[in-house]
Amino acid sequence: MERYDEFSDFVATRWPRLVRSAVLLGCSPAEAEDVVQTALELCLRKWSLVRGADDRDAYVHRVLINTFTSSRRRRWVGERPTAVLPEEHGPDRADEVDLADAVLRALRTLTTEQRAVVVLRYYAHLSEKQTAEALGVAPGTVKSRLSRALRVLAGDPDLVELRGAP
Amino acid sequence: MTHPDRPDRPLLPGDVHDEDHLRRLLATAADTTPVGPPPVATMLRHHRVRRRSRLLVAAAVVVAGAGVGLATSVPFGGDPGPGAGTAAATDMTEESAAEEFAAEDYDALSEDAVRQGADEDAAADSSEDAEVPTSMSGRGGVMPLGGWTSARLEASLAGAWSVGSAPQPASTNGGQEYSFGGGRYELQDDVSTPTAATLYFGDGGTVTAWTGCEAGAGTWSVADGTVSIELTRGVPLCDDGTGLLALLAEDLRSVRVVVADDGTRTLLDEDGRLLAVLRRP
């Protein structure tokens, strides 16, 4: 039972960040939860490998990236249309939503590889080495992708507008 | 405004290139996504069902080679019925049979198992350890698979068994206990009574070979989520006089076989949970 306890503890602490990483990678919120759940179930099946990994977070992010990529290769059937939308009430978060919209649109201008590097480095807080391990590429590749991604983001009109006129 | 890994090196102008600024932007954007609690219980249940289904499916696929009188339609090639097992066994490799069976049977059985066993599953979670038998002597009836709450596996093997590998010291239940992992293990009858079963594990828990069985060697059926297997005494199971019961479980690297005084074989996984019971009539 130790394996399941360990897995449960791991999921409890990583779930929110993994789901939000998936959102930044390009998933809708619901799809992000599905993708992360699928990734974590894969991890559970090979938990000994996760446990034995030099860097657990990098390993799990690698599984997440692979699961996300796989989900993009096939028709997504995880969503079910519904005739009744759930009611949502809450405080006005227009500014945050505007910011999120701008950031997500800016991220979508990046290639999948560039987006993954940005998310892992700047949201998941993985080091350059961890990012390279998670993506299965050389650290130099991480640097070059990051550099190109930052150049693209620098010229993104949404982000320029967000930070105001110079 | 510096390179993320070279603070001494200016990068490009613009706030977006500031590492901390970009982190804040991403964090703020991400935080607008509401995230519910992690579905840990669901993930664990999926995991258990998948493990048990693979075990059950593989066992059923192999024993289907001896199948006569199927109670329900099981996709194993050809029409089910007397003699169907042999024809199917010669036409399909063990992998293709397992894959075909798994793909269709998993949908049929697992959904049913999940739906019917939702409540039982919760109970099983708390009592899995308690289900592990401490003594098999005199224990009868059909025992449930550990995590597969709505399916049962029973195999009745007629005839006396002898063990093909060196026995280990007797376990505390008075029977004999054999441990193995990733290799081959045989429960093989003597030549004069050609009823036997072989548990075969390939490398890493993958079944790498199996053999079919002669028609009329026994029966197996699936009804109400119960798989019942009965092999007939005195009928050759295979050309070489041995039958093969293969258990396939992707994560199953080690299985304990506990042999009770009455000949019942109890299969336990590496965590000591009950997988299946092979019981002689």
pLDDT at A159 over 80: no
Helix/strand/coil for B219: strand
Q: Between A128-135 and A112-122, two packed helices, what is the crossing angle to 10 degrees?
A: 140
Record: contact A15-B4, CB cut-off 8 A: no
The pLDDT value given to residue A45 = 85
Are B35 and A37 within 8 A, CB to CB? Answer: no
pLDDT digits (tens, 9 = 90+) for A43-93: 988 888 888 888 888 899 999 998 888 877 655 444 444 555 555 555 666
CA-angle at B153, arms to B149 and B158, nearest 5°: 160
pTM for this predicted structure: 0.44
Residue B271 contacts A where some CB pair is shorter than 8 Å: yes
The pLDDT of residue A97 is above 70: yes
Q: What is the 3-state secondary structure (H, E, C) of chain A?
A: CHHHHHHHHHHHHHHHHHHHHHHHHCCCHHHHHHHHHHHHHHHHHCHHHHHHCCCHHHHHHHHHHHHHHHHHHCCCCCCCCCCCCCCCCCCCCHHHHHHHHHHHHHHHCCCHHHHHHHHHHHCCCCCHHHHHHHHCCCHHHHHHHHHHHHHHHHCCHHHHHHCCCC
Give the 3-state secondary structure of residue B3: strand
Report the pLDDT value the prediction gives residue A89, as an integer from 0 to 100.
56
Which run of H or of E encompasses B57? helix B40-63
pLDDT of residue A24: 92
For residue A23, the chain B residues in CB contact (below 8 A) are 30, 33
Listed by start position, the domains of chain A span: 1-78, 96-166
3 state SS of B192: coil
Q: Measured between alpha carbons, how far is A142 from A147 in angstroms, rounded to an integer?
A: 8
What is A96-166's CATH number, 1.10.10.60, 1.10.3720.10, 1.10.10.10, 3.40.190.10?
1.10.10.10
Q: How far does the CA of residue A94 sit from the closest CA of chain B (Å)?
A: 10
Low-confidence ranges of chain B (pLDDT < 50): 1-3, 6-15, 57-255, 279-281
The alpha carbon of residue B2 is apart from the nearest alpha carbon of chain A, in Å, by 12
Chain A: closest CA distance from residue B37 (Å): 8
Q: Which of A8, A118, A154 sits opposite B14 (nearest CB)?
A: A154
**pLDDT at res. B87:** 25
Q: What are the residue ranges spanned by the domains of chain B?
A: 41-278
Strands B274-278 and B152-157, sheet pairing: parallel
| Percent of all residues in chain A with a pLDDT value above 70, rounded to a whole number | 83
**Rounded average pLDDT over A137-166:** 80
Q: What fold does the segment set A1-78 form as a domain? A: Rna Polymerase Sigma Factor; Chain: A (1.10.1740)
pLDDT at B92: 32
DSSP, res B103: H
A1-78 and A96-166 have identical folds: no
Interval A114-145: pLDDT, tens: 999 999 999 998 888 889 988 989 999 999 99
Spatial separation of the C-alpha atoms in residues A138 and A155, rounded to whole Å:
27
CA distances from B80 to B44, B57, B72, B73, B103 (A): 35, 17, 8, 7, 18
Prediction ipTM score: 0.77
Residue-level pLDDT at B192: 26
Q: In this complex, do A163 and B32 lie within 8 Å of one another by their Cβ atoms?
A: no
Chain B residues whose CB is inside 8 A of the A141 CB are none
Size of interface A-B (CB pairs under 8 A): 109
Q: What is the pLDDT of residue A163?
A: 58
